[in-house]
Amino acid sequence: MTIFEKIIAKEIPAKLAYEDDEVIAIHDINPQAPVHVLVIPKRVIPRIGQAQATDAPLLGRLLLTASKIAADLGLADSGYRVVINHGRNGGETVPHLHVHVLGGRRMSWPPG
């Protein structure tokens, strides 16, 4: 079980930003910006590269939830970044697809 599965099962506490039947959103414990929220599907998809066409509705739900959370946290006007990491070189640390919502400061390009 990944740490995200344990959080979804309420075995590990987390600071919730949002939750519904399909996704949970938590504040990152190691934030890389003043606002750093992870949007996690409750159904495990190990990584974006393993998503299937049948996962399209859930993938869309993740992005729409990221947008809602950004608006709820006051980032819509100033801007924010949405990131999905894939694999070790992509920065993936937990093999459970999730979307990072980062904001509250100016983002640089290219990223790290």
Q: Tell me, what's the pLDDT at 109?
A: 93
| Residue 111's pLDDT band (cuts 50, 70, 90) | confident
Do 38 and 93 meet the contact criterion of CB atoms below 8 Å apart?
no
Residue 98 among the catalytic residues: yes
pLDDT in tens, 86-95: 999 999 999 9
User: Which entry of 27, 86, 96, 98 is annotated as an active-site residue?
Assistant: 98
| Domain ranges across the chain | 3-103
Counting every residue written for the chain, the total comes to 112
The domain defined by 3-103 folds into HIT family, subunit A (3.30.428)
pLDDT given at position 103: 98
Residue 18 DSSP one-character state: E
Parallel, antiparallel, or unpaired: how do β-strands 99-103 and 80-83 relate?
A: antiparallel
The whole-number pLDDT of residue 10 equals 97
